[in-house]
């Protein structure tokens, strides 16, 4: 048992009072060897004294080793989720992704009032098994992608709690995701994409701005949220460049070169408008998605979404020999693995590699 000399006498530890008379808070300070330890969050002096007494006993009988992590008591699952949300905000994440991530955590942990210290590995394993058979509000069980994403988010929360010393170890360790994730969305074939593009241009020529927005998903590889958020001043250099100063991720901040086929449509939409006016007016991100599908119907091709057009954009670019890093930057991806695994078709990646290999073998540069 360790002691430290204070004010002429040796004390094991002390109680520190904080807060106000109406909202008292106490913390405990003690020494383990040469290391000063502190624990906060007690709402009464009695609780603080009880904790200090327990530490004294644990050090004396050897059940507590010097340097063991300190775990904050009284933190609930709800407290942890709220703190995690603030942490994500401080990291710079956008409100919508944060809302989505906290929603997944709310689904994974059914009892938010439970003390975090009471969450066990068997309990978390049971939570995950329940997710795999749970019926959603649309009457279907969660897909593999959905329940594995919820598990991954729960792991991130547990890691955060360990870093805050609210948990000694993650209760999610050993809880393995089940089922195979799907990577990528169905994509149009090249001939189908040509028919889709011809119909989109026909509608754009007739004055439909939604057709222009849909073309931006294919020709520029933009997210639906990025398309509806663009303002007039983002279209720069006489319509040759499109600035995206804010996006879902830091890598999403980029400048895209506007293809000649798209340029006159965007110039027409922005002519005479205020710099901060939105190019397409006020629309939710579902608007470009609906237009992509409507054009599919009119063109007589399989129904795909706006996200599939981003995937087709990357597939065609890589198939044409554009490097994966360039395509990833164009799509606003932080990692090329995201582009390769979830957007570009495997045959396009293989074809790009084959093309580079042939170029080198025939005397060209890599």
**Cβ count within 10 A of residue 21:** 5
Assigned domain for 227 exists: yes
| pLDDT score at 278 | 96
Please tell me the least confidently modeled range out of 31-35, 96-100, 269-273, 332-336.
Answer: 332-336
**Tens digit of each residue's pLDDT (9 = 90 or more) over 245-281:** 876 555 557 788 888 888 999 999 999 999 999 999 9
User: How many domains are there within the chain?
Assistant: 3
| pLDDT score at 340 | 36
Please tell me the least confidently modeled range out of 69-83, 109-123, 247-261.
Answer: 247-261
**Tens digit of each residue's pLDDT (9 = 90 or more) over 202-240:** 999 999 999 999 988 887 878 888 899 999 999 999 998
Assigned domain for 67 exists: no
| pLDDT score at 221 | 79
Assigned domain for 169 exists: no
End-to-end CA distance of the chain: give it in Å, rounded.
Answer: 66
Q: Residue range 328-355: average pLDDT?
A: 38
All residues at 6 or more sequence positions from 269 whose CB lies less than 8 Å from its CB, including other chains: 209, 212, 279, 280
Boundary (domain end) residue, out of 144, 163, 182 = 163
| pLDDT score at 351 | 38
The answer on 256 and 133 residing in a single domain is no
φ/ψ (deg, to 5) at 25: -140, 145
pLDDT surpassing 60 at residue 21: yes
The answer on 90 and 229 residing in a single domain is no
The answer on 212 and 350 residing in a single domain is yes
How far apart CA 41 and CA 74 sit, in angstroms, is 8
The answer on 338 and 223 residing in a single domain is yes
pLDDT surpassing 50 at residue 104: yes
Task: Provide the pLDDT confidence category of residue 189 given band limits of 50, 70 and 90.
Answer: confident
The answer on 335 and 232 residing in a single domain is yes
| pLDDT score at 248 | 58
pLDDT surpassing 90 at residue 298: yes
Give CA separation, 299 vs 55, 185, 187, 253, in Å: 73, 19, 15, 33
The answer on 303 and 236 residing in a single domain is yes
| pLDDT score at 151 | 94
Assigned domain for 263 exists: yes
How far apart CA 100 and CA 102 sit, in angstroms, is 6
The answer on 349 and 292 residing in a single domain is yes
Assigned domain for 172 exists: no
CATH number at residue 266: 1.10.443.10
The answer on 91 and 53 residing in a single domain is no
Assigned domain for 174 exists: no
Chain centre distance of CA 251 = 13
Q: Residue range 279-291: average pLDDT?
A: 92
Task: Provide the pLDDT confidence category of residue 58 given band limits of 50, 70 and 90.
Answer: confident
| pLDDT score at 222 | 81
Assigned domain for 257 exists: yes
The answer on 340 and 305 residing in a single domain is yes
pLDDT surpassing 80 at residue 26: yes
The answer on 278 and 149 residing in a single domain is no
Q: Secondary structure of the chain: what % helix, strand, coil (to 5)? A: 50, 15, 35
Q: Residue range 131-158: average pLDDT?
A: 87
Whether 162 and 195 have beta carbons less than 8 Å apart is answered as no
The answer on 138 and 23 residing in a single domain is no
The answer on 90 and 27 residing in a single domain is no
Tally of CA atoms within 13 A in the half-sphere of 262 that contains its CB: 23
Assigned domain for 194 exists: yes
Q: Which domain holds residue 286?
A: 190-361
């Amino acid at each position: 048992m360790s002691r430290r000399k204070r004010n002429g006498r040796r004390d094991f530890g002390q109680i520190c009072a904080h807060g106000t008379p109406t909202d008292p808070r106490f913390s405990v300070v003690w020494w383990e060897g040469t290391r000063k330890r502190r624990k906060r969050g007690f709402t009464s002096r009695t609780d603080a004294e009880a904790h200090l007494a327990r530490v004294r006993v644990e050090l004396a009988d050897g059940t507590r080793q010097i340097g063991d992590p300190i775990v904050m008591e009284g933190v609930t699952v709800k407290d942890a989720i709220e703190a995690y949300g603030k942490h994500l905000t401080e990291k710079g994440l956008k409100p919508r992704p944060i809302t989505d991530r906290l929603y997944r955590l709310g689904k994974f942990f059914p009892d938010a009032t439970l003390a975090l210290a009471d969450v066990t590995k068997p309990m978390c394993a049971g939570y995950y098994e329940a997710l795999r058979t749970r019926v959603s509000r649309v009457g279907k069980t969660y897909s593999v992608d959905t329940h594995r994403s919820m598990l991954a988010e729960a792991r991130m929360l547990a890691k955060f709690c360990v870093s805050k010393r609210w948990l000694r170890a993650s209760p999610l360790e050993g809880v393995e995701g089940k089922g195979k994730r799907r990577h990528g969305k169905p994509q149009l074939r090249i001939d189908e994409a040509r028919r889709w593009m011809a119909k989109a241009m026909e509608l754009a020529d007739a004055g439909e701005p939604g057709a222009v927005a849909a073309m931006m998903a294919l020709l520029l590889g933009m997210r639906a949220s990025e398309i509806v958020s663009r303002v007039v001043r983002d279209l720069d250099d006489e319509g040759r460049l499109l600035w995206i100063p804010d996006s879902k991720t830091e890598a999403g901040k980029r400048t895209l070169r506007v293809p000649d086929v798209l340029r006159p449509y965007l110039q027409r939409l922005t002519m005479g408008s205020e710099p901060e006016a939105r190019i397409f007016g006020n629309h939710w991100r579902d608007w470009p998605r609906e237009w992509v599908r409507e054009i599919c119907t009119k063109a007589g091709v399989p129904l795909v979404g706006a996200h599939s057009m981003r995937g087709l954009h990357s597939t065609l670019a890589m198939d044409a020999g554009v490097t994966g890093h360039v395509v990833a930057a164009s799509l606003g991806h932080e990692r090329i693995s995201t582009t390769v695994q979830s957007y570009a078709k495997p045959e396009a990646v293989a074809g790009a590699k084959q093309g580079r290999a042939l170029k080198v073998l025939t005397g060209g540069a890599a």
